[in-house]
């Protein structure tokens, strides 16, 4: 019989998602499930929470049944470092938006992701950063009318 592998990032993230899904189910049970005109405000969150818990259980089971990798003794694998780098870059981007505004901060964040994290050429990162920032600006600021963070200089 195979020994289960619980020292796996998917097992940990699945457990965290189960906790989040349980919290969503508890909060959704406070709201009305069904009203006179149809589904109430608790309908969608309840089913979302249930689906999240079920899929998380499936993730834990499938991850625990995988054989242990040779380098699984260490928590900080290359994928973990990459994920932490992305989170750090996102935090820096959010803080920088107060000084640089959305367009410049998001462009720099995208360049960082594409060029540094993914290892693509710098020109690819710059083009992707400018294009994605422009697309976000057009979609949110122009089409939807959402006010994006601006720099002290107005852009």
Q: Quote the domain boundaries for residue 48.
A: 6-71
Last residue of a domain, one of 71, 98, 117: 71
Domain count, the chain: 2
For the purposes of burial, counting CB atoms within 10 Å of the CB of 70, is it exposed (0-12), middle (13-18) or buried (19 or more)? exposed
Residues 53 and 87 grouped into a single domain: no
Q: Is residue 148 part of a domain?
A: no
Last residue of a domain, one of 71, 93, 119: 71
pLDDT digits (tens, 9 = 90+) for 28-63: 999 998 888 888 899 999 999 999 999 999 988 888
Residues 63 and 85 grouped into a single domain: no
**Confidence label for 95 from pLDDT (cuts 50, 70 and 90):** very high
Question: What H or E segment, with its residue span, contains residue 83?
Answer: helix 78-111
């Amino acid at each position: 019989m195979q020994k289960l592998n619980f020292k796996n990032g998917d097992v940990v993230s699945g457990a965290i998602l189960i906790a989040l899904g349980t919290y969503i189910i508890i909060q959704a049970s406070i709201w009305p499930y069904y009203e006179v005109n149809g589904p109430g405000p608790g309908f969608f969150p309840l089913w979302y929470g249930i689906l999240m818990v079920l899929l998380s259980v499936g993730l834990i089971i499938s991850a625990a049944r995988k054989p242990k990798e040779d380098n699984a003794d260490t928590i900080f694998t290359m994928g973990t470092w990459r994920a932490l780098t992305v989170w750090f870059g996102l935090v820096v981007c959010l803080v920088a938006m107060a000084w640089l505004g959305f367009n410049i901060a998001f462009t720099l964040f995208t360049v960082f992701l594409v060029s540094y994290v993914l290892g693509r050429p710098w020109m690819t990162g710059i083009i992707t950063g400018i294009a994605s920032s422009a697309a976000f600006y057009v979609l949110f600021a122009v089409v939807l009318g959402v006010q994006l963070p601006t720099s002290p200089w107005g852009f």
